[in-house]
Chain A
Amino acid sequence: MGIEVRNNIKEIRGKWEMPFEYSYGQYYPIFYDHMKEGEIWTVRCSKCQRAFLPPRPYCGNCFEDVEEEWVKLSDEGSVRSYTVVRMPYSGQPTQPPYCYILVVLDGCSNEFHHLLGEADPSQIKVGMRVKAVWRPEEERTGSVHDIKYFKPI
Chain B
Amino acid sequence: MKRVVEARTLKAKIECPYRWSTGRAIGSFLTELRDGRRIVGLRCDRCGKTIVPPQDYCIYCADELDEWVEVSDQGEVTTFTEVKMDFPNSPLEPPFAYIVVKLDGADTGLAHLARNPEGIVVGSRVRAVWKELREGSIRDIDYFELVK
Contacts and interface: CB of A to CB of B under 8 A. Distances in A.
Interface of A: 1-24, 26, 28-30, 68, 90-91
Interface of B: 1-3, 5-22, 24, 27-28, 30-32, 34-36, 40, 43, 45, 66-70, 88-89, 136-137
Given A24-B8, A24-B10, A5 B28 contact: yes
Contacts of B14: 17-18, 20, 91
A86 to B, nearest CB: 21
B27 A4 contact: no
Contact of B136 (A4, A9, A90): A9
5 closest cross-chain pairs (CB), A and B: A2-B67, A7-B28, A16-B16, A19-B13, A2-B68
A13 B31 contact: no
A140 to B, nearest CB: 16
B6 A29 contact: yes
A35 to B, nearest CB: 13
A21 B10 contact: yes
Contacts, number: 114
Nearest to A4: B68
Nearest to B20: A12
A21 B11 contact: yes
A105 B45 CA distance: 72
Nearest to B12: A20
B88 A19 contact: yes
Of A2, A20, A22, A68, most B-chain CB atoms within 10 Å = A2
